[in-house]
Amino acid sequence: MAGAACKVIINNGVGGLSRAIETVLTHPLVRDKMLSSSRCDELIQKLADVDRASYDPECCKMPEGGLRGILVELRKEKVITDEVFGPGGVYR
């Protein structure tokens, strides 16, 4: 069982990743340049759904793959590069 310190580290990591994805999806160099506004909004909604499902699993289903699933979608859309997923990357 993870201790309190581990929980804090995990929460900060997950929160930081969620904020980073949101920043990417609202950034002017991405929105309507790399992805349409509607696609960005769709992925932002998935972020919201991850939050909602995390805190109230009965209200809605967790989007497939959670936050990692959103990163995979951004990779497919070529918004993030293989550096994130490749050797030494964060999400291999």
pLDDT at 24 over 70: yes
User: 61 lies in a domain?
Assistant: yes
Between the alpha carbon of residue 27 and those of residues 20, 35, 47, 65, 77, the distances in Å are 10, 11, 16, 23, 15
Count of structural domains within the chain:
1
Q: How confident is the model over 65-74, as a mean pLDDT?
A: 92
- Among residues 63, 40, 45, the alpha carbon closest in space to that of 53 is found at 63
User: 36 lies in a domain?
Assistant: yes
Of 30 and 86, the structure prediction assigns the larger pLDDT to 30
User: 2 lies in a domain?
Assistant: no
Give the integer Cα–Cα distance in Å for 69 and 58: 20
User: 66 lies in a domain?
Assistant: yes
User: 84 lies in a domain?
Assistant: no
pLDDT at 21 over 90: yes
Burial of 61: CB neighbours in 10 Å, binned 0-12, 13-18, 19+:
exposed
Q: Which domain holds residue 57?
A: 9-76
pLDDT at 86 over 70: no
